[in-house]
Structure 1
């Protein structure tokens, strides 16, 4: 199998180049759907059936399984969208320098699509049938929190035994066994406008009230226990000489454990229940949109299987936790053994320096193929 994949390395790189050179930002439906059409074509050639879940605002989602599959027990998650705006691929298209490939989305996660597709090809080449035990779910909006695909992922994951998530491995090659949960909130303050020179006493400053609220929000952070609250964007007011009648803040909240959700929601309610500036009103909108991916007993057992497979092919597998979010949280919260970071190794995702470590393309694809086959035997 390894020799087959080595022979396919150039084909894999050309496939990655094709995907990277197509803009597919989360809000670029046309670009994402173009990626989807390419994937559909390749999977159909391998005898897979594709169900397209059409979307109006975002790109269409894909549900893929082999025509001979019967109740597959392994769900594989991947996404087609990137964080980059239209025009990025033309500005800095796919390129190779030394042992690294560059381009928008090259590691997050267009290389992962090549790895998954060629892992299946490798299994078929060897006459193995583990690919019949997988259900592939590919969404179009992961980078913005999976608003249109969360329910689909949870629906398709129910009853599955294993979840393999194709986000890239960390820079040091580690897989991801835990992620913090994530919430997005908007705090809106309404005040009363007035001229700051002529009659400031008649005004009620929304900005002043928001300032008080921001300080209270930061006090919720407890980094030792994995809770972080960050106000990343603020806006308000109309001019320097006007008491502001409107202000708002965008808030990012991260948690380590589900038990922390109730505590944080109660504290947010308390903060917004009263105001420091008389005459202002406060409204909080948003929710915890990704639960934490916790390293539980099932995940540890799956990690040991992956480490055993890695040892057999000479790859030492380590794991780590990260504060970034992914769709792995959805399967993990359903009690399914979940491991993330099963794509190739790379780094600097979401930046103009994003890269793929080319030497890891074949080895991580081999790891994935053998893992699918190993897990398939365990589901029987």
Structure 2
């Protein structure tokens, strides 16, 4: 399979260029659906059936399976959206410099789409059966928390033995075996406006109340145990000489273990249950929207299989934990053996310096194809 992929490297890069040239930010439905159509056509040409889960606001999701598949035990997850606004593809077109390719979304995760597609092509070319043992779910809203695709992912993952998630490998080539869970909350404070020079005593400062709450929220962080609470965005007030009657904060919460959810939610509710500044009112909105991906027994066993495959083909496999979120959390929470970071190697995702390490494209696609076949034979 490696020689097949070597021979098709240029074709893979051309395919990535097509994808990168289409704006597909999470709110760019038209662009995501163009990518979806391109991928749909590519898989249908290989004998796959494609179910399009149509969405009104976001891009459509795709569920892909070979026409001869019978209850596959592998689910492959990849997302079609990026973080970049419309027009970025024209401002920063795909380009190659040395051994790196650049462009919006090139590593997160348009190169991964080429990797999955050509792994399937390599399996078919080699006469193996692994391509009949995968269900591929491509979603359109991962970068904003998968609000419309989470249910689809969880539904399609139930009953599977293995989940292979195609987020890019880390810069050093490591796979991802654990991720922290994530929650997003909004704290809203209502006060009473007054002129700060004429009658400040009649005001009730929403900003002052918010300041008290920010300190209390940050004190919940316990980095040694993987808990972080960060107020990353605040706004409020109308002018410098007015006691503020409104203020709010956006709160990012990260956890290492699912058992930490109850503790944190109880503490958040307690902090927001009363005011430090008399006369102000507080409300808290939001939820934990991604459970943690824990490195459990099943994931460790899958990692060992991948490392064995790596040894077989000459690729050293290391793993790491990360604080960032992905759809791997959903499959892991369903007790499906999950490994993330199975895409090609690259770096600087979500920035104008995002890049793909071109030599890793064949290497990681070969690893993926060989892994699929190994899991099929188990």
State the TM-score, normalizing by the size of structure 2: 1.00
Alignment deviations for residues 149-208 of structure 1 (CA, whole Å, 9 cap, x no partner): 111100110000000000000000000000000000000000011111111111100000
**CA-CA distance at 1:224 after TM superposition:** 0.3
- Written as runs of structure 1 = structure 2, the 5 A alignment for 1:79-228 is 79-228=79-228
Alignment deviations for residues 30-65 of structure 1 (CA, whole Å, 9 cap, x no partner): 111111010001001001000011111100000000
Matched residue pairs, number? 378
Unaligned segments of structure 2, at least 5 residues: none
Measured in 2, the distance between the counterparts of 1:242 and 1:58 equals: 40
* 3-state secondary structure, aligned to 2:284: strand
Measured in 2, the distance between the counterparts of 1:77 and 1:166 equals: 6
**CA-CA distance at 1:377 after TM superposition:** 1.3
Measured in 2, the distance between the counterparts of 1:56 and 1:364 equals: 35
Instruction: Indicate the residue corresponding to 1:246 in structure 2.
Output: 246
Measured in 1, the distance between the counterparts of 2:281 and 2:156 equals: 42
Measured in 1, the distance between the counterparts of 2:74 and 2:2 equals: 23
Measured in 2, the distance between the counterparts of 1:121 and 1:53 equals: 24
Q: Give me the CA root mean square deviation.
A: 0.4
* 3-state secondary structure, aligned to 2:295: coil
Measured in 2, the distance between the counterparts of 1:232 and 1:30 equals: 31
Measured in 1, the distance between the counterparts of 2:329 and 2:142 equals: 12
Instruction: Indicate the residue corresponding to 1:55 in structure 2.
Output: 55
Measured in 2, the distance between the counterparts of 1:46 and 1:68 equals: 11
- Written as runs of structure 1 = structure 2, the 5 A alignment for 1:1-380 is 1-378=1-378
Alignment deviations for residues 258-297 of structure 1 (CA, whole Å, 9 cap, x no partner): 0100000010011001111000000000000000000000
* 3-state secondary structure, aligned to 1:25: coil
Unaligned segments of structure 1, at least 5 residues: none
Measured in 1, the distance between the counterparts of 2:265 and 2:123 equals: 47
Measured in 2, the distance between the counterparts of 1:126 and 1:152 equals: 31
* Structure 1 moving runs of 4+ over 3 Å: none
Measured in 1, the distance between the counterparts of 2:11 and 2:22 equals: 17
* 3-state secondary structure, aligned to 1:32: helix
Measured in 2, the distance between the counterparts of 1:133 and 1:327 equals: 20
* 3-state secondary structure, aligned to 1:295: coil
Measured in 2, the distance between the counterparts of 1:231 and 1:54 equals: 35
State the TM-score, normalizing by the size of structure 1: 0.99
Measured in 2, the distance between the counterparts of 1:279 and 1:345 equals: 54
* 3-state secondary structure, aligned to 2:231: strand
Measured in 2, the distance between the counterparts of 1:93 and 1:231 equals: 35
